[in-house]
Amino acid sequence: MITPSKDSWTVSDSAALYGINNWGEGNFSVSSSGEVTVTLPFPTGQVAIPLTDIVQGARDRDYALPLLLRIENLLDARITLINETFRQVILATKYNGSYKGVFPIKVNQQCAVIEEISRFGADYGHGLEAGSKAELLLCLANLNDNGLLICNGYKDRDYIDLGLWATKLGHRCFFVIESPTELPLIIERSQQLNIRPLLGLRIKVSAKVSGLWTETSGDRSSFGLSTAQLIATIDQLRDEKMIDCLQLLHCHLGSQIPDIGEIQAGVREASRFYADLAAEGVPLQYLDLGGGLAVDYIGNQSEHSQSRNYSLDNYCHCLVTTIKETLAPQKIDHPTIITESGRFTVAHTSILLFNILDVMRHEPISLPENCQQEIHPLVAEQYQLYEQISDLEAVDAYTRAITRRDKIRDLFRNGTIRLRERSLAENLFLAIANRVSEKLDRLDETPLSLTGLKQSLADIYYGNFSVFQSLPDTWAIGQIFPVMPIHRLNECPERNASISDLTCDCDGKLDHFILSAGESRTLPLHTFNTTEDYILGVFLMGAYQETLGDLHNLFGDTNVISVRINGDASFDVIKEQSGDTISEVLGMLEYNPTSFFADFRDTIEAAVKQGQINVNERQQILAHFADRLNDQTYFNNSGRTQ
């Protein structure tokens, strides 16, 4: 919890408080004027663009908040970083193979993202991975000529045919066999089309990993061949005279693996599979280690499930040296290393920006100067406690206050205390609780019985967004994303708050944050002023969130823009997409907006006939209804009283 010194507060204090220099990895910083900037290196020097400038540029183009912002440069930089780091490690360790990156489409299927990955990855032959027919079609339309195409997931005849035709076109398209039942159909279709397939086998490694996605590893993993199934599949390929098609071994250790030791154990086991199969004469050339490279969402370089205790350089060294050392005793040729590091590639590139609409404060509205003699004795005692609180210990004062509050509520329920007395009592309790909270700020350690007090008194800031649409993993699995204001960072944040979204759902909130001091159930924020914007950003949310989002309360996609930062400190809007309109969202639910409007028009016409409204009012209502169908689903700031 913050204990700010308002007069001496600096932008460095804000940067330290929100931990931006830790999780931002140099991509984000705080300017001297108190604004979050996108910070990028150029040959002419470092360039920093305030996010508020980009927000204004979006508004000038009629794109209101909430806004999903993509920074193309960051996607370019991430692809370059992982490819160049592997290249340097391979040279330094004298590894005789190479590296090929592959982006799993499921991590972010948005058109702009896939097109950018294809364009930026062309120089490195960065490939794509599909887990369904729809994703395979996306891959075929965007794959670079020298990029690998990895086909995972369940495969029916049409899926297999698409992959075989891709092979015919010259792509290195690998069918990764995850179940013994897949191989007969692949053999049948390859013979029918007279196209030799490229095959891979997905193995289950016994090494378990920690984190939020542990079920993708170990014996109980839903996908992959057991050791017995692996041997049976290899024997079947030999019988079919197709062993030459088997060139890839696949192993997915997990997603967002925080501990480098667990990665090393999994890679070592996978390498042993590779070595023994190669020694048996299986012509393997590629070792695909799947995902696992973590993003440090909380920025503390730890084994926390949403952090990591290693750098990218550590990760690359771990994979390269572990494979090399494991294969050395049998003098097996070094394979091409493949990783499917989707989260690492796209997480940093996207930011959700939204404005605060209102605030609920848990503090007294007003208190009388003197205790009224005619009030109930319990309420009077609460008033006396309020006046004497400076002389009491924090725990004693709060215990007395909450005991009386609960008794007063019981008396209200049975009719002994009237509504106005209860209102006074509730205000008194809040006043006492806030004074106790101030006492806690002066203590070295918070008493155990009062650990939840500050959270219970925190403000609720209402944001113009939907958790379920834009940040579904915060609700579904407790994912933590960095959240902070993007301006006013030269001011001391004097309030502590949780954040509620626009949905009518108690789960539609953000109440778990990471600050430099550690995890917190509240976020330090600035005092809200209804006459000016207050904008927050949710960072590192480019992986999985966009496609997982749902239509809770019929909030659709937000506005989206992709920008490219230039070396002269300008930026170009490369792509832009308007958020869903109400009409479009209704259409997704099988409503026909034209029929929808016609039904309402019939209702309004009936009201005219019954004399409830006149014709002029009819026209106004219909025009308003039609206009709203074309509105976006989020809060419209233009209609707000300032």
Residue 375 makes CB contacts below 8 A (sequence gap 6+) with: 383, 421, 424
Per cent of the chain over pLDDT 90 is 82
Instruction: Please determine, looking at this structure, whether the domain spanning 93-340 carries the CATH number 3.20.20.10.
Output: yes
Write the burial class of residue 93 (CB in 10 Å: 0-12 exposed, 13-18 middle, 19+ buried): middle
The pLDDT of residue 151 is 97
**Does residue 564 have a pLDDT over 90?**
yes
Instruction: Express each pLDDT in 160-169 by its tens digit.
Output: 999 999 999 9
The pLDDT of residue 216 is 59
pTM of the entire predicted model: 0.93
Average pLDDT over residues 362-383: 85
**Does residue 383 have a pLDDT over 70?**
yes
Q: 11: number of CA atoms within 13 Å, CB side?
A: 15
What pLDDT band is residue 5 in, cutting at 50, 70 and 90? low
**Does residue 483 have a pLDDT over 80?**
yes
377-454: what CATH class? Answer: mainly alpha
The pLDDT of residue 121 is 95
What pLDDT band is residue 639 in, cutting at 50, 70 and 90? very low
CA distance 501 to 484: 15
φ/ψ of residue 556, rounded to 5: -95, -160
Higher pLDDT, 367 or 484: 484
Q: Quick one: angle between helices 133-142 and 157-168, nearest 10?
A: 20
Q: Quick one: angle between helices 111-120 and 133-142, nearest 10?
A: 40
DSSP class of 487: S
Contact 323, 286 (CB under 8 A): no
What is the CA angle 128-235-284, rounded to 5?
40
The pLDDT of residue 642 is 37
Domain parsing of the chain, residue ranges: 93-340, 377-454, 585-639
State the maximum Cα–Cα separation within the chain, in Å, rounded to a whole number: 99
Contact 298, 320 (CB under 8 A): no
CA distance 117 to 278: 33
Instruction: Express each pLDDT in 302-338 by its tens digit.
Output: 999 999 999 999 999 999 999 999 999 999 999 999 9
What pLDDT band is residue 638 in, cutting at 50, 70 and 90? low
The pLDDT of residue 213 is 62
Q: Other CB atoms closer than 10 Å to residue 446's CB: what's the count?
A: 16
Q: Which residue, 303, 274, 299, is CA-closest to 289?
A: 274
For 362-380, give one letter per residue: b (16+ CB within 10 A) or e.
Answer: eebeeeeeebeeebbebbb
Instruction: Express each pLDDT in 248-281 by its tens digit.
Output: 999 998 899 999 999 999 999 999 999 999 999 9
